[in-house]
Amino acid sequence: MRELIFATHNAHKVQEVASLLKGVCLLRTATEAGITEPIPEERDTLSGNAWQKAEFVWMRTGRDSFADDTGLEVEALDGAPGVYSARYAGPSCSFADNMAKLLREMRGIANRKACFRTVIALIIGGVRHEFEGRVDGEILEQPTGEGGFGYDAVFRPQGYELSFAQMPLEVKNSLSHRGRAVEKMRAFLSEL
């Protein structure tokens, strides 16, 4: 079975993606591949960050690797936090800090439309492939639910009554931005 190095140290991402790639490849983390230092993400686009991370791991290990970058894009905030979603409240902020800042900035705003986008950069045998997933929804007035991570507790996907944080992982994965991007990658890997 093909082995892929996931260019992340984020345990939540690994758990989500591993369940989606089961049976198609063996997923290894950057730490398992011997990379313990922070993986850079200094670009100004989701695609740029995904490629920077995937190439960082590929150059250090010479092994097939992939990375993703995800952003929450809020219409009323001109697409913010976008590529800065993970560090919206500052460089050493927590998920709770980011969510609190977003909710402060959204206070009193009627247009709550938002989308999550994920871009995956995959390097197989030195060849680059890119996959994208998107889900539209809205920003809730307050956090709802205990599951998930990041902005999951304040994002409700279009057509659903529950926030991502209220959904079982299997349900969230079936309709989430990351789930959609990983499913495209899974289909591609299944054909190799």
Residue 136 annotated as lining a ligand binding site: no
Residue 13 annotated as lining a ligand binding site: yes
Residue 129 annotated as lining a ligand binding site: no
Residue 178 annotated as lining a ligand binding site: yes
Q: Is residue 69 annotated as part of the catalytic site, yes or no?
A: yes
Q: Provide the angle, in degrees to the nearest 10, between the axes of the packed helices 177-191 and 11-21.
A: 50
Per the residue annotation, which of 44, 69, 97, 136 is the catalytic one? 69
Residue 29 annotated as lining a ligand binding site: no
Distances from the Cα of 171 to the Cα of 4, 54, 121, angstroms: 24, 27, 24
Burial (CB < 10 A; 0-12, 13-18, 19+), residue 62, is exposed
Residue 117 annotated as lining a ligand binding site: no
Pairing of β 81-82 and β 113-124: unpaired
CB 127 within 8 A of CB 82: no
Q: Give the helix/strand (H/E) hosting 5.
A: strand 2-6
Residue 144 annotated as lining a ligand binding site: no
Active-site amino acid positions = 69
Annotated binding site for substrate: 8-13, 70, 149-152, 172, 177-178
Annotated binding site for Mg(2+): 69
Annotated binding site: 8-13, 69-70, 149-152, 172, 177-178
